[in-house]
Amino acid sequence: MDQLFAPWRIEWIKRDEKNSDVDGCVFCAFPEREDDRENLLVARSDHAFVLLNNYPYSPGHVMVIPRAHTGEYADLTDDQLLDHARLKQRTFEAAETALEPDGFNAGLNLGEGAGGSIGDHLHTHIVPRWQGDTNFMPVIGDSSVIVQALEETYDQLHEAFAAQEGATVPGAGRAVVFE
């Protein structure tokens, strides 16, 4: 029997509908919303943003998402590509500062065959990893244990992004901004 206690997930489960306020792509909608913290949007730049994953593989699992709506990596302009790469670099730095992982898994799911749930808007997953974090639960129990609430992870990463050179924080509940 797989039973894990995760009481913070009830809000996500009880919501009326997944992304019911979104017409079209959910990734296109996130940067337009008012409360970044509520929506787990941690940092933003001119052409990309960092979003905490609602279904993390481990604490600190984020996605760095270009604002351009495309599922094709080759469709990104040079400015979009460079900005996305720089925001990934800042994300690694923030995660190292806030979470002190032993390493990272990072990558893109491009196309439906790659296993991504949102194939028409590319995004890079960055997953902090620790020595020994793969244990019997996912291997034998077919379950994973997330040891930290999303809000706590958000606060740690937000603080680490805010401490970086060139960062500004426009106000309470807002993502760190890089220009």
Is residue 109 pLDDT above 90, yes or no? no
User: Quick check: is 84 catalytic?
Assistant: no
**Lowest pLDDT segment from 28-42, 67-81, 111-125:** 111-125
What confidence tens digit (pLDDT) does each residue in 63-76 have?
999 999 999 999 99
Domain limits at 103?
A: 19-164
User: What residue type is 113 in one-letter code?
Assistant: G
Q: What is the CATH number of the domain that holds 153?
A: 3.30.428.10
| Token code pair at residue 37 | 């913290």
CA dist 2 → 125, 137, 141, 142, 145 (Å) = 26, 9, 7, 8, 11
A 10 A CB-CB count for 32 gives: 9
Query: Per the domain annotation, does 172 fall within a domain?
Result: no
Q: Which of 47, 121, 123, 125 is catalytic?
A: 123
Number of domains composing the chain: 1
What confidence tens digit (pLDDT) does each residue in 116-136 have?
667 789 999 999 998 877 654
Query: Per the domain annotation, does 46 fall within a domain?
Result: yes
| Token code pair at residue 76 | 């990104």
Query: Per the domain annotation, does 2 fall within a domain?
Result: no
SS3 154: helix
So what's the pLDDT on residue 48?
Answer: 97
**How many Cα neighbours within 13 Å face the side chain of 80?**
14
Rounded CA-CA distance 163/73 in Å is 30
Q: How far is CA 113 from the centre of its chain?
A: 21
Share of the chain above pLDDT 90, in %: 54
Look up the pTM and report it: 0.76
Q: Nearest Cα to 151, choosing from 6, 38, 4? A: 38
